[in-house]
Structure 1
C-alpha cells in the first residue's frame, strides 16, 4: 500500500458507460501531473492505471465505442484499487454476462484491494456478495430495483459516495468524479486530491444526490390504492392535510394507511408529501423568478424558516443556493 505509484484497475465489460471508464482513468493518471504542469512544477504521477477485461478482449461500451484493455482481469495479480464502472446498457443482461468475472473481484478484494463501484456498477459489486451487511449507494433512479435484488445491503440512495471497510460506492452517472477524488485523497492526501480536482475544474463538494432525484420513482409498486393516495397527495401540495383526512378520503384507517404506504413506498405519507413539496419548490426555483415567499405558500408551507431548514436538509442547499446552481437561463 505504500508503493508509488499506486495501481488502479478498471474492469471493462460490454455495455459499460465509456465516460465512467475513460474519465476515471484520466483523473487518476493526472494526479500529481496536471496541477504541476499548470504551475510549471516537476510532475510525479501518483497512479499507474490499467484497463482490464475478460481474457483481455476488446469490449463495446454503451455508446458503441470499442475499448482495448491493457490486461486480462484473470492476469491481474495485484492492484490497489479495482473500479467497476457504470452499466450503460440493460442491467440484467450485464449481470448475466459478468458472472464469470465475479470471482476475480472477490479474489482481488481478498488480496487487499479497495473495491469501488460507480452508479449501476454497484449491482455487479452486490452480485459478488461483498456488499452484504454493508452500507452502499447507487443511482437514485435504480434504488428500488437494487433493494429488491439485494435486501441484505444497507442501501443509502441519498448518498453520493459511501465507504464501508475497503468497499466504496458512488451514486448516479458522473459520481465517478466524487469517487475518484475520494480515493485519490485516501492514497495521496487532501492536497493532491484538491489540486487534482481544481486542475480538472471538478466540483467535489457534492455529498448528496437527493437534489437530482424524483419522488415519482416511488410509484413503481403494485398497490393500486396507495397509487391513488400518491396521486391525491401530488394534486394537493398546497393544501393543509392531516393523516386522518387522507385515510378517510381513501376508505382506510390511519393505521392501515401507514402500514400499506410504508410497504409500498418505503416511507410515510407525510414524508412522501414533504418530498413532493420540496420537488415542486425545486422546479419553481429552476424555471421561474417567483419570489421565495410565494413558492413557500404554493407548496403548502406558511413558515419560511421551517421550509428553508427542510429544503436544506433534503437537498443539501438553501433555496437561494439551489436557484443559483440550477436556474435555467
Structure 2
C-alpha cells in the first residue's frame, strides 16, 4: 500500500466548553476529503490532511492530544477555534489559547474561527481594524467586547488571507470545505460536499479564483509586512515605508519579498485591493466609483481597467454575475 503524502496539518483547538461536534465533524470531513483525494489522485502517494487536536494542560501549556498522522514535528498551516456551547457572556477569557494563536500566526499559520470561536481570536488583538463574522445573535456582544473589529454578520465566511472567520454554529462545514478546496482542489471539495450531502461554500462556486497569500515561507520580516498590508487593506504600500517596517534596505526588501510571496509588493497590494473590491461588489450596492475610492484608487477608470485585468470582468458585469444584493433585487422585482 502506498504511503500517504501529508500536504498540510490543521490544528483544532479544544477550548473549555467548545462544540465537540465541530471538532469531530471537521476531523471526519478532512479524513473523507483525503480518502476522496486518493481516489482522484494519479499514480504516487495520495495526498492527506493531517489533523491534530489541542487542549490546555494543567500547567497552562497548549498540548496536542490527538494526531491523525503522528511521528513528525507539528507545523499547522491552519488552526481553527470551533463554536462554543455557551453564550459569549459566559465564555471565560482564554489568554493561553490567545497567546498560542498569536504565536502560530506570527510564524505563518492561518487562523480560523467558527461562530463564537471568533471571541477566542478576538483576544489575540490580531482582528483589530479588520472585518470578522460570528453568529448574528452574538454581533452586539462581539462589538462591545472588541470595538476595534468591524463586525459583519451578513457574511457566512470572511476570508482575509491570514485570518478566516465563519458565521453560524454549523458554519464549520463551510469553513471545512473552504480549506479542502484550498488544500486539495475544487474537485475534491465538490466530491466531499456530495458525499456528505451538504452544499458547497457559496464563495467557492464562483468562476474566478481568490487571492491566497503565501504565509508559510519562513521569512518573519516579510511576514510582518504581509500582515501590515492585509490589516490596512494595502492602502499604504510605498516601498520605502514597507522596507522600513521590515528593517531592510529597499533593494534587499524587494528581493526577499518577491522570493517569499512570488509577487512584487505593488502587485501584492493590488491583489489585496482587488479582493476587497470584489467583496464590496458582491455584498453591497455602493457605486463602483465609491468602491474604487474605498479600496485606494482615486481614478475610477484606472480601477475598472485593473479590475478587468485581474478578474476578466468589468466591475458592473462582475456585480451582475456574483452580487448577492443584485440577486436579491432581481428576485424582488
TM-score, length-normalised on structure 1? Answer: 0.54
1:115 corresponds, among 101, 107, 111, to 111
2:319 match: none
How do 1:22-37 and structure 2 match up within 5 A? Answer: 22-34=24-36
The answer to whether the 8 Å contact 2:133/2:155 transfers is yes
Shift of the 34–186 alpha-carbon distance from structure 1 to 2, 3 Å rule, reads closer
Larger Rg: 1
Shift of the 76–141 alpha-carbon distance from structure 1 to 2, 3 Å rule, reads farther
Aligned residues: 199
2:298 match: none
1:150 corresponds, among 100, 124, 146, to 146
In the alignment, the residues of structure 2 paired with residue 22 and residue 56 of structure 1 have an alpha-carbon distance, to the nearest angstrom, of 23
2:235 match: none
Shift of the 47–77 alpha-carbon distance from structure 1 to 2, 3 Å rule, reads closer
Shift of the 164–100 alpha-carbon distance from structure 1 to 2, 3 Å rule, reads same
Say if 2:53 is the partner of 1:51.
Answer: yes
The answer to whether the 8 Å contact 2:54/2:66 transfers is yes
Q: Which runs of 4+ in 1 moved over 6 A?
A: 317-320
Query: Which runs of 5 or more structure 1 residues have no equivalent in the other structure?
Result: 58-67, 208-311, 321-329
Deviations 1:271-307 (A, max 9, x none): xxxxxxxxxxxxxxxxxxxxxxxxxxxxxxxxxxxxx
Shift of the 318–89 alpha-carbon distance from structure 1 to 2, 3 Å rule, reads farther
The answer to whether the 8 Å contact 1:32/1:43 transfers is no
1:141, distance to aligned residue in structure 2 (A): 0.8
1:132 match: 128
Structure 1 SS opposite 2:194: helix
The answer to whether the 8 Å contact 1:56/1:69 transfers is no
Shift of the 30–94 alpha-carbon distance from structure 1 to 2, 3 Å rule, reads same
Shift of the 199–160 alpha-carbon distance from structure 1 to 2, 3 Å rule, reads same
1:313, distance to aligned residue in structure 2 (A): 3.4
2:181 corresponds, among 157, 164, 185, to 185
2:291 match: none
Shift of the 4–35 alpha-carbon distance from structure 1 to 2, 3 Å rule, reads closer
In the alignment, the residues of structure 2 paired with residue 23 and residue 29 of structure 1 have an alpha-carbon distance, to the nearest angstrom, of 10
Structure 1 SS opposite 2:6: coil
TM-score, length-normalised on structure 2? Answer: 0.53
1:27, distance to aligned residue in structure 2 (A): 0.9
2:190 corresponds, among 180, 191, 194, to 194
